[in-house]
């Protein structure tokens, strides 16, 4: 047989001599249970699907690198950021959030923006979105929020009442709702959008000084969005358009790139700042904390196998390296648990051994052992306990992160802060958006909110009104609602808030 001719084998390498005819007793059959090849083929097929991600199910990814362009060593000792010109391999995945694995890429939804840096200190994951803020600031609300974006438990249909009912009862969502219903809610594709950490993280340097930081990945392709009409057309003509666009661009050699910038805040500034720096529903205005350049991310290699490299890619905001740590942001704290937990559910307890998830520039070395699908790759043999006197791996005190002070009563505490939920959404509407942005925002809201019950429309429109009276009035007009009713509901929201903050 010619060298290059591949023989079909079983999963265990044994040659298969016929893959077209099941083994039967007589002709045409019945089929014999001793046809192990048939049984194995069917059994594997029956198990091809793994649970899809409960959020961010539909996505596309690519390999690339990060190159440092600016010295940030006074803020962080992260080794991959230690020198201008230093390059680190990475894998990035972009996604929609609420839809199933087969849903359309052009849906109005935030886009996930996750990057895994394979650093010499282990893997560092930046797991953000294309929006700088989020709908809610407490992880206890997250499962409820996501349920409202999914299908109705009775009809199995997307339900505008569920969607707007929750949002209108959760005024902290207004900032993100305003971004989502602007044309940034339907990016032209994954290449033409920014990525943000949304959360605040900690950076710390060699001296043990720490800083609060927010990440901004600015697209070098330029921001481009779809209008509502273009997105609707795209959903029916090419539901996978963003997945296709990313793959084809890289295949053509047009490598998409993003500039990484960070905003930095000292702990003294954080104590006095007018916004809560750990509230994910707020940004840090650029005028207060100007973005500082850090480096550049380039995606230059497509996956060879979608399932292995993209479907099984397991990011976690809890994957830190020395020099980077968490902040007290409550949503982040919830995610530190949920991501690893999801991967254990979807991929099993040894998901970190899969090639796309395993560290590449350093070996993992610890005393965790066994479990489903263990390949023995983590440290392997003896000793399997710590402390030991047989030369097993020991902790490195040099990598200790700075201590931060926390105080207060352990209780379920209502979030109260002098700055309200509406000011930044209002600023975005008034100061940042152009008149055509505003017109598209109103049109996008009216065409969606118009499908919800009238009492829900009123409650949500009062929230738009609280952000900015012109914003609320134009939505009210578009929906044919009484402005008087909207104003009196807005007044009630004001009074309820005043009572809560007394």
Q: How far does CA 305 lie from the centroid of its chain? A: 21
Residue 194 touches ligand NDP, criterion: CB under 6 A: yes
To the nearest whole angstrom, how small is the minimum distance from the Cβ of residue 436 to ligand NDP? 10
Q: With respect to ligand NDP, which residue has the nearer C-beta, 353 or 433?
A: 433
Choose the stretch contacting ligand NDP; rule: CB under 6 A; options: 61-69, 264-272, 311-319, 431-439. Answer: 431-439
Residue 432 touches ligand NDP, criterion: CB under 6 A: yes
> What does the alpha-carbon distance between residue 96 and residue 159 come to, in Å, rounded to a whole number?
18
To the nearest whole angstrom, how small is the minimum distance from the Cβ of residue 161 to ligand NDP? 27
Half-sphere exposure of 75 (CA within 13 A, CB side): 22
CA triple 34-36-39, angle to 5 deg: 110
CA distances for 474 relative to 24, 48, 172, 311, 336, angstroms? 72, 50, 21, 42, 40
To the nearest whole angstrom, how small is the minimum distance from the Cβ of residue 63 to ligand NDP? 25
> What does the alpha-carbon distance between residue 406 and residue 426 come to, in Å, rounded to a whole number?
32
Of 11, 21, 27, 56, the catalytic one is 56
**Which residues, numbered 202-231, are part of the site for ligand NDP (CB under 6 A)?**
216
Q: With respect to ligand NDP, which residue has the nearer C-beta, 284 or 351?
A: 284
Of 119, 123, 168, 182, the one binding ligand NDP by CB under 6 A = 182
Choose the stretch contacting ligand NDP; rule: CB under 6 A; options: 84-92, 164-172, 278-286, 442-450. Answer: 278-286
To the nearest whole angstrom, how small is the minimum distance from the Cβ of residue 433 to ligand NDP? 5
- Nearest to 256, CA basis, from 226, 297, 197, 295: 297
Annotation marks residue 56 as catalytic: yes
Of 234, 242, 310, 428, the one binding ligand NDP by CB under 6 A = 428
Q: With respect to ligand NDP, which residue has the nearer C-beta, 287 or 498?
A: 287
To the nearest whole angstrom, how small is the minimum distance from the Cβ of residue 182 to ligand NDP? 5
Of 123, 129, 357, 444, the catalytic one is 129
Residue 179 touches ligand NDP, criterion: CB under 6 A: yes
Contacts 24+ apart (CB under 8 A), 95-100: 95/56, 95/57, 95/58, 95/59, 95/60, 96/56, 96/57, 96/58, 96/59, 97/55, 97/56, 97/129, 97/149, 98/55, 98/146, 98/149, 98/150, 99/57, 99/58, 100/52, 100/57, 100/58
To the nearest whole angstrom, how small is the minimum distance from the Cβ of residue 449 to ligand NDP? 19
Q: With respect to ligand NDP, which residue has the nearer C-beta, 232 or 427?
A: 427
Q: With respect to ligand NDP, which residue has the nearer C-beta, 239 or 295?
A: 295
List, in order, residues 6 or more apart from 347 with CB less than 8 Å away. 50, 312, 314, 354
Residue 472 touches ligand NDP, criterion: CB under 6 A: no
Annotation marks residue 225 as catalytic: no
Binding letters toward ligand NDP, positions 436-455, x by CB under 6 A:
-x------------------
Burial class (CB in 10 A: 0-12, 13-18, 19+), 306: middle
Choose the stretch contacting ligand NDP; rule: CB under 6 A; options: 83-91, 237-245, 368-376, 430-438. Answer: 430-438
Of 58, 108, 184, 343, the one binding ligand NDP by CB under 6 A = 184
DSSP character at residue 276: -
**How far apart, in Å, do the first and last CA atoms of the chain sit?**
85
- Nearest to 257, CA basis, from 58, 112, 124, 67: 67
Burial class (CB in 10 A: 0-12, 13-18, 19+), 332: buried
Q: Binding-site residue total for ligand NDP (CB under 6 A)?
A: 17
Residue 435 touches ligand NDP, criterion: CB under 6 A: no
To the nearest whole angstrom, how small is the minimum distance from the Cβ of residue 74 to ligand NDP? 22
DSSP codes, 221-256: T---B--HHHHHHHHHH-TTHHHHHHHHHHHTT---
List, in order, residues 6 or more apart from 195 with CB less than 8 Å away. 113, 115, 126, 128, 129, 130, 215, 216, 217, 258
**Which residues, numbered 122-141, are part of the site for ligand NDP (CB under 6 A)?**
132
Q: With respect to ligand NDP, which residue has the nearer C-beta, 41 or 228?
A: 228
Q: With respect to ligand NDP, which residue has the nearer C-beta, 7 or 439?
A: 439
**Which residues, numbered 282-321, are part of the site for ligand NDP (CB under 6 A)?**
283-287
Q: With respect to ligand NDP, which residue has the nearer C-beta, 139 or 426?
A: 426
Q: How many helices (H) and strands (E) does the chain have?
A: 14, 10
Give the three-class secondary structure for 405: coil
Residue 410 touches ligand NDP, criterion: CB under 6 A: no
To the nearest whole angstrom, how small is the minimum distance from the Cβ of residue 228 to ligand NDP? 14
Can you name the residues that pair with 297 across neighbouring β-strands? 66, 258
Interacting residue ranges for ligand NDP, rule: CB under 6 A: 132, 179, 182, 184, 194, 216, 283-287, 424, 427-428, 432-433, 437
Catalytic residue positions?
A: 56, 129
């Amino acid at each position: 047989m010619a060298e290059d001719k591949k023989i079909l084998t079983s999963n265990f390498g044994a040659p298969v001599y016929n893959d077209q005819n099941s083994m039967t007793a007589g002709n045409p059959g019945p089929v014999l249970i001793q046809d192990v090849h048939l049984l194995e083929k069917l059994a594997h097929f029956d198990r091809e699907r793994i649970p899809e991600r409960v959020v961010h199910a539909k996505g596309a990814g690519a390999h690339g690198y990060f190159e440092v362009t600016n010295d940030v060593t006074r803020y962080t000792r992260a080794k991959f950021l230690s020198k201008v010109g230093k390059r680190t391999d990475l894998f990035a995945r972009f996604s929609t959030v609420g839809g199933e694995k087969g849903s359309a890429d052009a849906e109005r939804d935030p886009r996930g923006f996750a990057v895994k840096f394979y650093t010499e200190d282990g893997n560092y994951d930046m797991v953000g979105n294309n929006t700088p803020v989020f709908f809610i600031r407490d992880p206890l609300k997250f499962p409820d929020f996501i349920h409202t974006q999914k299908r109705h438990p009775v009809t199995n249909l997307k339900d505008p009442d569920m969607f707007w009912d929750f949002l209108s009862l959760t005024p902290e969502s207004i900032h993100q709702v305003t971004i989502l219903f602007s044309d940034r809610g339907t990016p032209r594709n994954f290449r033409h959008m920014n990525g943000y950490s949304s959360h605040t993280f900690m950076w710390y340097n060699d001296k043990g000084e720490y800083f609060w930081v927010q990440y901004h990945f600015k697209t070098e392709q330029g921001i481009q969005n779809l209008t509502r009409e273009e997105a609707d057309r795209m959903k029916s003509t090419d539901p996978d358009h963003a997945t296709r666009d990313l793959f084809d661009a890289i295949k053509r050699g047009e490598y998409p790139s993003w500039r990484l910038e960070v905003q930095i805040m000292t702990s003294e500034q954080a104590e006095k700042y007018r916004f809560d720096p750990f509230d994910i529903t707020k940004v840090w205005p650029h005028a207060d904390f100007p973005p500082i350049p850090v480096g550049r991310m380039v995606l230059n290699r497509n996956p060879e196998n979608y399932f292995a490299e993209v479907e099984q890619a397991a990011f976690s905001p809890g994957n830190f390296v020395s020099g980077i740590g968490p902040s007290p942001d409550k949503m982040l704290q919830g995610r530190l648990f949920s991501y690893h937990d999801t991967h254990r559910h979807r991929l099993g307890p040894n998901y970190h051994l899969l090639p796309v998830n395993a560290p590449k520039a350093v070996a993992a070395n610890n005393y965790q052992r066994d479990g489903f699908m263990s390949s023995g790759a983590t440290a392997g043999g003896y000793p399997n306990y710590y402390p030991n006197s047989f030369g097993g791996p020991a902790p490195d005190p040099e990598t200790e992160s700075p201590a931060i002070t926390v105080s207060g009563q352990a209780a379920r505490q209502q979030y109260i802060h002098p700055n309200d939920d509406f000011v930044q959404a209002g600023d975005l509407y008034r100061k940042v958006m152009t008149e055509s942005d505003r017109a598209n925002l109103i049109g996008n809201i009216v065409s969606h909110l118009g499908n919800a019950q009238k009492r829900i429309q009123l409650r949500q429109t009062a929230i738009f009104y609280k952000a900015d009276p012109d914003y609320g009035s134009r939505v009210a007009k578009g929906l044919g609602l009484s402005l008087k009713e909207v104003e009196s509901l807005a007044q009630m929201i004001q009074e309820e808030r005043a009572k809560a903050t007394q």
